[in-house]
Amino acid sequence: MTLLFKFSELIDEKRRDEIIEAIAKRIEQFGMLVPAIFFLEMNKPLSYITGQGMHFFAPIVSVFFNTFEDYAYFFDDRNNVELLIQKLESLAEKEEERARELKAQRKAKKAAMKAAKSSDTMMDEAIKMSGEDKPEEANNIDPK
């Protein structure tokens, strides 16, 4: 005899970590780390209700998405949401560090270009000054 519905078991730690990685990767892909952290922190108390709502819709949605039930079990536990938030925060810190490094590189490059430009300007001024001295000497000579 076959069952009409397949009921999933609770997710284990390995599957939980896979789900966290998948969600975090997707959020990072869209560049929405900070808004996602804010949203999850704000709605953490509702995670259990979200999970239960997902269980309610699972018979319909599972036809289209095989892993939907796993995500429902994931959101049943607030600790999983906290782990997801921690993962997103670590990714946001890494992104901020990369941005600081890029800013420092740009600043160093800009300073180098400015120094090169100022040395060129100083050379141009020196050439102009040496060129200006010669005509003045020629004008100061009396034809007598």
pLDDT at site 107: 92
Please state, as a whole number, how many other Cβ atoms lie within 10 Å of the Cβ of residue 96. Answer: 12
Dump pLDDT digits (tens) for 65-114.
888 999 999 999 899 999 999 999 999 999 999 999 999 999 999 988 88
- Tell the residue number behind the tokens 């034809």, with chain if given: 143
Dump pLDDT digits (tens) for 20-40.
999 999 999 999 999 999 999
**Element (DSSP H or E) covering residue 142:** none
pTM score of the predicted model: 0.68
What is the Cα–Cα distance from 37 to 84, expressed in whole angstroms? Answer: 9
89: helix, coil or strand?
helix
